[in-house]
Amino acid sequence: MKEYGIFDILGPVMIGPSSSHTAGAARLGKIGMEIAGSGFHRVRFYLHGSFAKTYRGHGTDRALVAGVLGMEPSDERIKDSLNIARDRGIDIEFMEADLGYVHPNTVKMVFYYKDRDVYYVTGSSIGGGSIIVIDINGNEVEFTGDYPTILIKYEDQKGTISRISAILSDEDINIATMKVTREGNVATMVMEIDNPIKSKVIDRIRNLDEILYVKGINSIRRA
């Protein structure tokens, strides 16, 4: 039996019209931006399934854009996000796409930068404003953004996991969930933790020899 708190039932406080098409979409945009990093001048959204069919009427387009601009799902400026993006000189494009066997409300967000490579994040809005991120630049992942999350890519070798956990326990951070996948010699680790992420922790992990990439994402608020 799933547990509910009172504010799961009376909430979120959100911008309409639909928790999955608007609130969830805004959270997806936001988490995409946090993962890819700011400074982009263009974002292209590939919309799949129900997102592709109803994005205009549901305001999914405006919610996604609001998210990549950093707005929360309860921000009343969501309605005007397309104009706000234009004023900030950010190019926005929407395309319908078949992203394969994924949830009907799925979007692939591609961020373009002047000074570095394109970056993409794919995620689904799975109902009631809940989301999951499923792909980052071709790396399959799975996390919800409800907790602070640390993403790490490293060259697989003995003892990496214990070195990372040692840093976390030294910094007094409790790991809620941890998932490791491996492709060839490169492993991807997704860790959800109970405490907000401090940059010092990320720096310490980055200093390990085998680390190729590390990123901390603070939780994406529901309201």
Binding region for other proteins (CB under 8 A): 1-2, 4-19, 22-23, 50, 53-54, 56-59, 62, 74, 76, 78-79, 127-129
Between 5 and 100, CB nearer to other proteins: 5
Between 4 and 101, CB nearer to other proteins: 4
What's at 12, amino acid-wise? P
Distance CA(30)–CA(67), nearest Å, equals 4
User: Nearest 5 degrees, angle CA 126-CA 44-CA 77?
Assistant: 70
Work out how close the CB of 36 gets to other proteins at its nearest, in angstroms, rounded to a whole number.
25
Work out how close the CB of 10 gets to other proteins at its nearest, in angstroms, rounded to a whole number.
5
Between 73 and 216, CB nearer to other proteins: 73
By C-alpha distance, which of 137, 159, 158 is closest to 215?
Answer: 137
Work out how close the CB of 25 gets to other proteins at its nearest, in angstroms, rounded to a whole number.
12
Between 153 and 222, CB nearer to other proteins: 222
- State the CB neighbour count (10 A cutoff) for residue 78: 28
Determine the 3-state secondary structure of 30 from DSSP: helix
Structure tokens given for 137:
């630049």
Work out how close the CB of 49 gets to other proteins at its nearest, in angstroms, rounded to a whole number.
12
DSSP code of residue 98? -
Work out how close the CB of 176 gets to other proteins at its nearest, in angstroms, rounded to a whole number.
17
DSSP code of residue 43? E
Between 14 and 152, CB nearer to other proteins: 14
